[in-house]
Amino acid sequence: MTRAPFQRAPLAQTLFLSVQDVATIVTQVGAAATLARMADYIEADYKRWQDFDKCARVAAHSPEGVIELMPIADAKTYTFKYVNGHPKNTQVGLPTVMAFGVLADVDTGTPELLSELTLTTALRTAAMSAVAARTLARPNSKSMALIGNGAQAEFQALAFHHLLGIEEIRLFDTDPVATQKLLNNLKHTTLRLTVCDSIAQAVHGADIVTTVTADKTNATILTPEMLEPGMHINGVGGDCPGKTELHPDVLRACDVFVQYEPQTRIEGDLQHLPANFAVTELWQVLVGTAAGRTSPAQVTLFDSVGFALEDFSSLRYLRDVATEMGLGQRVSLIPNLVDPKDLFSLIRPAPVALALAA
Rounded average pLDDT per 10-residue block, the chain, 358 residues: 54 90 98 98 98 96 93 98 93 94 97 98 98 97 97 97 98 97 97 98 98 85 97 92 93 98 95 96 98 97 97 98 97 91 92 60
Catalytic status, residue 239: yes
Predicted pLDDT at 87: 87
What is the Cα–Cα distance from 202 to 204, expressed in whole angstroms?
A: 6
* Total of domains in the chain: 2
Same domain as 184, residue 61: no
What is the Cα–Cα distance from 270 to 63, expressed in whole angstroms?
A: 22
Residue 281 included in any domain:
yes
DSSP 213: -
Same domain as 166, residue 114: no
If phi > 0 it is left, if psi is from -120 to 50 it is alpha, else beta; for residue 37 that is alpha
Same domain as 144, residue 103: no
Residues 6+ apart with CB under 8 A from 248: 272, 273
Residue 338 included in any domain:
no
Measured on CA atoms in the order 314, 319, 325, 327, is the torsion positive or negative? Answer: positive
Predicted pLDDT at 214: 79
Same domain as 329, residue 220: no
Task: Name the residue range of residue 94's domain.
Answer: 14-119+310-333
With beta carbons less than 8 A apart as the criterion, state whether 96 and 87 touch.
Answer: yes
Same domain as 323, residue 293: no
Same domain as 215, residue 326: no
Task: Please list, residue by residue across 262-301, b when 16 or more beta carbons sit within 10 angstroms of its beta carbon and e when fewer do.
Answer: ebbbebbbbbbbeeeeebbbbbebbeeeeebbeeeebbbb
With beta carbons less than 8 A apart as the criterion, state whether 171 and 146 touch.
Answer: yes
Same domain as 257, residue 176: yes
Same domain as 147, residue 202: yes
Residue 288 included in any domain:
yes
Measured on CA atoms in the order 322, 326, 328, 331, is the torsion positive or negative? Answer: positive
Same domain as 315, residue 301: no
What is the Cα–Cα distance from 227 to 223, expressed in whole angstroms?
A: 7
- Hey, how many other C-beta atoms are within 10 angstroms of the C-beta on 41? 21
Given 306, 323, 342, the domain boundary residue is 306
Same domain as 167, residue 73: no
Residue 231 included in any domain:
yes
- CATH code, 262: 3.40.50.720
Residue 350 included in any domain:
no
Predicted pLDDT at 327: 98
With beta carbons less than 8 A apart as the criterion, state whether 206 and 144 touch.
Answer: yes
Residue 5 included in any domain:
no
Residue 191 included in any domain:
yes
Residue 27 included in any domain:
yes
Catalytic residue among 21, 45, 207, 239: 239
CA angle, corner 340, sides to 339 and 345, nearest 5?
A: 60
- 3-state SS of the chain: helix, strand, coil percent to 5? 40, 25, 40
Predicted pLDDT at 1: 47
SS3 2: coil
Q: What spatial distance separates the first Cα and last Cα of the chain, rounded to whole Å?
A: 29
With beta carbons less than 8 A apart as the criterion, state whether 233 and 298 touch.
Answer: no
Predicted pLDDT at 5: 55
Same domain as 280, residue 159: yes
Predicted pLDDT at 3: 53
With beta carbons less than 8 A apart as the criterion, state whether 213 and 143 touch.
Answer: no
Burial class (CB within 10 angstroms; exposed 0-12, middle 13-18, buried 19+) of 221: buried
Same domain as 228, residue 178: yes
Instruction: Kindly report each contact of residues 89-94 with a partner whose C-beta sits within 8 Å and lies 24 or more positions away, as own/partner.
Output: 89/65
Query: Residues in the chain, how many?
Result: 358
Q: Which uninterrupted H or E stretch holds 61? A: strand 58-62
